[in-house]
Amino acid sequence: MDLADLRFTSTYGDLREGYPCKTVNDLRIRGLLRAAERAHPGTPVHLVPPPREYPDQYAGGLGPVEVLPAVACLGTFHSTALDPAHDPVAYRSRLTVLWFQSAPHLPSGCGPEQALRDLDWPGLARDTRAPA
């Protein structure tokens, strides 16, 4: 599997009011997943469940403080076709993955990137016609 595109976004950069909590985090994740689906139509999108921390801070009306890692990462990966009947020149398997990490760095093989190596590629990716 090869990385074709990678975008970093601040997890809370556009949080105008409130504080990080489960409701805000779930909305943020759903919004990022919808944006990924729109940006990569026809390519499946997968969420690597992010770690959630619960610092000992005052809980407001939305419930306890819940913090996700600081950087949301959206990567599009491709590999050879999954279906052996597909022409290997004309088709590639593709998958867009959303994951979170503490800093904006390229996947390196350690840390949260272990979840990327452990992806069920055959179960998640989809064959698509390669661009001409």
First to last CA, the chain: 20
Percentage of residues in the chain with pLDDT exceeding 90?
52
Cβ-contact 116, 98 below 8 angstroms: no
Distance of CA 92 to the CA centre of its chain: 20
What confidence tens digit (pLDDT) does each residue in 46-88 have? 999 999 998 888 877 878 999 999 999 999 999 999 999 988 8
Q: What is the pTM of this model?
A: 0.87
Give 54-84 as a DSSP string: --S---BTTBSB-B--SEEEEEEEEEE-SST
- Which pLDDT score, from 0 to 100, does residue 123 have? 94
Contact criterion met (CB below 8 Å) for 126 and 43: yes
